[in-house]
Amino acid sequence: MPELPEVETLRLGLIKYVLGHKILDVEILHPKVFQGEKEKVIGSTVKDARRVGKGLILELSNGYCLAIHIKLTGQLIYRDEKTKNVSLSAKVGGDLPNKFTHVIFKLSKLTANSQKPTAYLYYNDQRRFGWIKVIKSDKVSKLPFFRDMGPEPFKDLTFARFKFVVGKKVTKIKPLLMDQTNMGGIGNIYANDALFRAGIDPRKTGKSLSEEELKKLYDSILFVLKKGLASRGASELSFVNILGQEGEYQNHTLVYGKRGQKCPNCGSTIKFIRIGGRGTYFCPNCQQ
Ligand SMILES: [Zn+2]
């Protein structure tokens, strides 16, 4: 599932390309994905794009917003006259709209009352677990997804908070990092890599970690998330940026996805196990 670096990459793209556009119309091809009344957003202008954990909020000029969660395979792709020839990743599934397109936002940046769209924002989703909700801006923080979100790296997840959240729990450390009510934005890829960089066995409990280990882990979380962001995210399943291009972190992972390969530190074989049902990669020599 796209994690903080992927969703942040998308947010930066929304800021660059979609901000300032008026929504002329919303074409809904698959009703399950779009929840709420489209009439509430038509005629409004996109004012801001915010990210909360793995979720996105497009703030509109009329007091409403679009809350978006791309879940496993959602994509938001912008096309206009200037960007229409940017070649799309094969992960998009062909020219837009295509069979994976469920919602089309028809946009215009013209101030005149032109009803002719000058740009399109496509919501594609192969697995269709994602959602777009129309909601009043002052109510969005009450949606369970946003309400239950824990503190976030680079925002309010200080080391003290991190220590408080994971340091007392008898749950295994890896699922603790991925539980969005503990902290927002971390999923399987970055949890695996952060634990490797910190030299911590993912099966250890939060409570068993020393102050030094917790500090190393905290620093490693920030490190791998920054690296993911610098690589414009990981395109493992379907993730693409606002122009339909893939990220590169999948080519730079430390242990994630490297079952049976050599550890980059010590040359031991990277092991694969499941913790809480999720694929876990680690070096039994470096992570203890
Ligand atoms: Zn190793």
Q: Which two tokens stand for residue 209?
A: 């970690």
Based on the domain organization, do 259 and 227 belong to the same domain?
yes
CA of 256 to the centre of ligand 1 (A): 13
Catalytic (active-site) positions: 2-3, 54, 278
CATH number for the domain spanning 40: value is: 3.20.190.10
Q: What is the CATH number of the domain that holds 246?
A: 1.10.8.50
Render pLDDT for 73-83 as a digit per residue (tens, 0 to 9): 999 999 999 99
Q: How far is the CA of 200 from the centre of ligand 1 (A)?
A: 11
Residue 17 CA to residue 145 CA, distance in Å, equals 26
What three-state secondary structure class fits 252? Answer: coil
Tell how far the Cα of 266 is from the centroid of ligand 1, in angstroms: 4
Q: Are residues 9 and 134 in the same domain?
A: yes
Residue 195: which pLDDT band, with cuts at 50, 70 and 90? very high
Q: Would the CA dihedral through 7, 8, 10, 11 be positive or negative? A: positive
Point out the domain boundary residue: 96, 114, 147: 147
The count of other CB atoms within 10 Å of the CB of residue 95 is 9
Question: Is 153 domain-assigned?
Answer: no
36 with 101, same domain? yes
For Cα atoms 171, 147, 176, give the angle at the middle one, nearest 5 degrees. Answer: 15
Q: How many CB atoms lie within 10 A of CB 212?
A: 9
Last residue in a domain, options 147, 171, 198: 147
pLDDT for 236-265, tens place per residue?
Answer: 889 999 999 999 999 999 999 999 999 999
Q: Where are the beta strands (DSSP E) in 15-138?
A: 22-28, 34-35, 46-52, 55-60, 64-69, 74-80, 101-108, 119-125, 131-136
By the 8 A CB rule, do 151 and 165 touch? yes
Inside any domain, residue 287: no
Residue 154 covered by a domain? no
- Cα–Cα distance for residue pair 162/153, rounded to 1 Å: 9
Last residue of a domain, one of 102, 127, 147: 147
Least confident segment among 103-112, 137-146, 248-257, 276-285: 103-112
**200 and 226 part of one domain:** yes
Please report whether residue 288 resides in a domain: no
One domain for residues 63 and 172? no
Dihedral of CA 184/4/90/258: which sign? negative
Q: What is the mean pLDDT of the chain?
A: 96
Q: Are residues 139 and 224 in the same domain?
A: no
110 and 192: one domain? no
Domain presence at residue 99: yes
For residue 224, the enclosing domain spans 159-282
CA 196 – ligand 1 centroid, Å = 8
Count of structural domains, the chain: 2
Asked if 140 and 23 sit in the same domain, the reply is: yes
The reply to whether 69 and 95 lie within a common domain is yes
73 and 104 in a single domain? The answer is yes
